[in-house]
Amino acid sequence: MPSFLVLRLEAPLMSFGREAIDANGPTRDFPDSSMLTGLLANAMGYTRSEAVRHERLQNRLVFGVRIDRLGYDLLDHQNANLFEDEKGWTTKGVPEGREKSPSYRPDHDGRRALTHRRFRHYRADAALTVALRLDPATEPPTLDDLAAALDYPARPLFIGRKPCLPSASFFVGMSEAESLVASLQSIPTTEPSIATCRFVLPPSETEGLGEPEIVRVTNKRDWRLGVHAGEERIAIMTLPAQASAGAGI
């Protein structure tokens, strides 16, 4: 029987990403392959330059999501006044200046500046349960390696963007179940009164469960080029939140 790593994603604000246009950064209401890869890789201590390790982990992930609490969409309109001669800290760990651009204009004190505006969407007050396995299962890192890293992460973890700090530990436990759905249904929901939830699954995991809604999403990242370039089919369906009988973790 397959083993699954079970995660709980819950925070005041979460951001799962979506196809972005210009300065507008929308979010889905569930995580995708690249977001979970980044979360797990960060816990394991991978650096951003390790594209091969990120891509291999992403390609091994097989996961399903149960949306326990949908929450609501929150839009943050951000404005920043940027000066051409200023430096800022980056993920490289060293200060970095901005490139020269004709967009900079002298402000009231003569310094060249521009106003940067962007829209960032978040899921507020949501809660989700994720079950995942790795294929192949015995290749490192294993599920046990990921579980240990989530308990003692190499770096601080967040859900999407850096301000999205989790409300509690990500790691719920390990589950043995016949399928992703069975694994998710063995875990109590954050909302005990609900009878059904939306599930997001690989289409191959929906056999015998009814007719799912099939959606195409751009959810895989090309870690070498640093862009999202992979499309997949996912299945969305409403199912019983928990099994009528059966043990949890």
> DSSP alpha helices (H): ranges in 10-50?
33-44
Are 191 and 210 in contact by the 8 Å Cβ rule? The answer is: no
Query: CA 70, CA 73: separation in Å to the nearest integer?
Result: 9
Q: What is the pLDDT of residues 94-121, one digit of tens each?
A: 666 666 777 777 777 777 777 778 888 9
Q: Which residues contact 116 (CB under 8 A, 6 or more apart)?
A: 23, 78, 79, 80, 81, 82
- Which residue reads 């059966």 in tokens? 246
Please state whether 246 falls in left (phi above 0), alpha (psi between -120 and 50) or beta. Answer: left
Q: Where are the alpha helices (DSSP H) in 108-216?
A: 143-151, 180-185
CA dist 17 and 198 (Å) reads 19
Which tens digits make up the pLDDT trace of 61-100? 999 999 999 999 999 888 877 777 776 666 566 666 666 7
Question: Alpha carbon of 17 to those of 21, 99, 160, 218: distances in Å?
Answer: 12, 26, 7, 10
pLDDT confidence of residue 93: 66
Q: Residue 89 has what pLDDT?
A: 61
CA distance 194 to 119: 33
Query: Is there a contact between 39 and 208 (Cβ–Cβ < 8 Å)?
Result: no
The pLDDT, as a whole number, for residue 220 is 85
- How much is the pTM? 0.85
- Dist. CA 174–CA 188, nearest whole Å: 14
Backbone phi, then psi, for 183, in 5-degree steps?
-65, -45
Tokens, residue 217: 């999403």
Q: Output the CA–CA distances (angstroms, integers) from residue 142 to 3, 46, 134, 186, 243, in the order listed.
A: 11, 15, 7, 22, 27
Number of other CB atoms surrounding residue 175 within 10 Å: 22
- Can you list the domains of the chain with their CATH numbers? 3-75+123-240 (3.30.70.2660), 77-117 (no CATH)
The arithmetic mean of pLDDT across residues 155-178, rounded, is 92
Helix (H/G/I), strand (E/B), else coil: 37: helix
Strand partners, 76: 120
Torsion (CA) 198, 201, 207, 213 in degrees, nearest 10: 60
Percent of the chain scored above 90 by pLDDT? 61
